[in-house]
Amino acid sequence: MDVKERLQQLMDERGWTIYKVAKEAGIPWSTVRNMFKRNTEPSIGTLESICKGMGMTLPQFFDVENEMGLTDEQRQLIHQWSKLNNRNKRLVSELVKALNEKA
């Protein structure tokens, strides 16, 4: 899998710019820009930061969850989850916990 191609796909899905990726990942803008403009490959640490900023894990980045036997509904939930900001992720987590406690 081409890392930059996958990153571009995720950016397009979210409507994110290079600047937004860098900001959310907490890395210099030039690091992300150089991946595309100078054709550099990100280090594992950089890629982990980018994934964290995008609300996903490295396996999710590489689409490994499709090999884990997830249903389409579960994949859709993961996809929607990855679009949430940290505050909304906490709110959804609290809601799910509360619902499970009442079940």
pLDDT in the model for residue 15: 92
Domains of the chain: 3-102 (1.10.260.40)
Task: Check whether 64 has a pLDDT greater than 80.
Answer: no
- Cα–Cα–Cα angle for 94, 83, 57, rounded to 5 degrees: 85
Task: Check whether 97 has a pLDDT greater than 60.
Answer: yes
Q: Work out the mean pLDDT of the chain and round it to a whole number.
A: 87
Rg (CA), the chain: 15
Nearest to 57 by CA among 65, 40, 1: 65
Query: pTM of whole model > 0.75?
Result: no
